[in-house]
Amino acid sequence: MHFVELLLLPMRQRLGEERLFASQQRVASEVMRLEADVRSAYVIYASSVSIAELEQRAATAAQLSSRTAEAFHIAGNISELQLSRERAAAIEASVEANQAAVEVHRHRSALLNLMGIAPADPVGITAETPLPLPPLLQDDVNSLRRVARSQRLDLQALKLELASSERVLSQQQVSRWVDDLGVGYERERETGQATRSGPTASIGVPIFNTRKDLVLRARSKWEDAQATLSEREIVLENDAFSAMQTAQAAHKISVAMREQLVPLRERITRLSQREFNYQFIGAFELLAIKREELDAYRKYLEAIRDEWRSHIDVQRVAGGKLPPELIATSQAGATP
């Protein structure tokens, strides 16, 4: 029996437990990554449903404008050029509505694939339309980095692997010289004499084979673990900065759309309706202005989608739930 193996048995058992725990941390990290992917896919799907409904409304308005143009052309009130423009606008709006409907089916399939649900399964996927507004985030990159360093499971797994590889290196540096140390118990009986028994011990002297290759292999794995951890920490630093800046920019765009562009487009439509009533503008100008208002709504829905996705990316970088110090307010009072 090798005596060194008995001495190193507790250490090897501990190494096995650490490697098992590191694997569990990696699996848990992948599960959390999948959860973030599902949330992002749901946001895209719900947004596509709202956009498809809006595009259908725009197509209906364009078709109404085209039919009105045909009646005016028959009566001789508009030229063939204006009629062709209205027909082209109606066709383009119909194509965009069909494309939006296709996007709904594509994003729904992507969501079902991530969730592992077949289309024939009785589980229903209902999109919340319009999407509610996500919570506001504090512009605090340092807090995000600190939270990520403490709760990112993939980072913890790399730290465990680094510690394990360091212990293996220390073990190889010691055992290379005394690995052949052995103890035992022997009995022997010579012819015509009594039986002799007692303990035995042996030790190998590594003159030609010092097992330097094992040490070099362990050092290589330790250095590789160090490099991988350093790389992941640098990526985390950059991802935290990028995710927070993207979230802040997406929020500013959403606010500009909600508080400035959409109300302004609604006001333009109301004023244009008044001018139409006084016959200062024609029906086609009014319908064109209404289409611009619907386009502003579509851009706002996309802004809410992008804000949600940036919020999910911040949570992805954090590696879990965001702490209260990163949450500003709930955007109460604002409606999507």
* Digit-coded pLDDT (tens) for 281-308: 888 888 889 889 999 999 999 999 999 9
The CATH number that domain 3-184+199-326 falls under is 1.20.1600.10
- Helix ranges (H only) for 196-261 are 212-256
Calpha distance 15→161 (Å, rounded):
9
Is 199 in contact with 185 (CB distance < 8 Å)?
yes
For 155-195, how does the pLDDT look when each residue is reduced to its tens digit (9 = 90+)?
A: 988 888 888 888 877 777 666 555 555 555 556 665 556 56
pLDDT band at 324; cut points 50, 70, 90: confident
Look up residue 2 and give its DSSP letter.
Answer: B
> What pTM value is reported for the model?
0.79
Is 71 in contact with 290 (CB distance < 8 Å)?
no
pLDDT (mean) for 115-130 = 76
Calpha distance 143→156 (Å, rounded):
18
pLDDT at 9 over 90: no
Distance of CA 323 to the CA centre of its chain: 18
User: What are the extents of the domains in the chain?
Assistant: 3-184+199-326
Sorted by sequence, the CB contacts under 8 Å of residue 177 that are 6+ apart come out as 206, 210
Q: Which amino acid is present at 316?
A: R
Q: Which CA distances in Å does 263 have to 15, 81, 98, 157?
A: 63, 33, 28, 50
pLDDT (mean) for 242-256 = 95
pLDDT band at 123; cut points 50, 70, 90: low
Q: Which amino acid is present at 90?
A: A
Q: Which two tokens stand for residue 157?
A: 């797994």
For 227-242, how does the pLDDT look when each residue is reduced to its tens digit (9 = 90+)?
A: 989 999 999 999 999 9
Give the SS3 label for residue 3. helix
Burial of 160 (0-12, 13-18, 19+ CB in 10 A): buried
**Beta 182-189 vs 195-202: how paired, if at all?**
antiparallel
Half-sphere exposure of 256 (CA within 13 A, CB side): 9
